[in-house]
Amino acid sequence: MLKLPAVLTHAAACGFFDTIPKEVLSMPADVVVDASALSQFDSSALAILLECRRQALAARKGFSVQGAPEQLLQLADVYGVATLIPASPPASAAVAA
């Protein structure tokens, strides 16, 4: 699982962006991004998620996001990319199923 930091604005995203390919390739299965820590972000967070998705699909892996803050989902909707960052079920729901 790839965990996003609490702050993911343009300044922080630049350094984080470069680590994505290595992180995605190191995951043995589908790529799940944990966005639950996000508390301060801008559209750069969407760029990071979309790059994670692109890398996951290139590696023939599934992609989903868990714990995305409502404001991030609203931002994704405004930009028209909400369907590209699908939510994964919470870990507790997956265990119960």
pLDDT one-digit tens code per residue, 78-94: 999 999 999 876 654 44
Return d(Cα 26, Cα 22) in angstroms, integer: 6
Yes or no: domain 2-87 corresponds to CATH 3.30.750.24: yes
For position 31, what pLDDT does the model report?
Answer: 92
Tell me which DSSP letter residue 13 carries: H
- The H or E element containing residue 32 is strand 31-34
Q: Measured between alpha carbons, how far is residue 57 from residues 1, 21, 30, 46, 69 in Å?
A: 16, 11, 9, 16, 23
**Mean pLDDT over residues 14-35, rounded?**
87
Global pTM reads: 0.85
Q: Which two tokens stand for residue 27?
A: 């995951």
Residues 6+ apart with CB under 8 A from 5: 12, 16, 37, 38
Q: Tell me which residue of 12, 6, 2 sits closest to 33, measured CA to CA.
A: 2
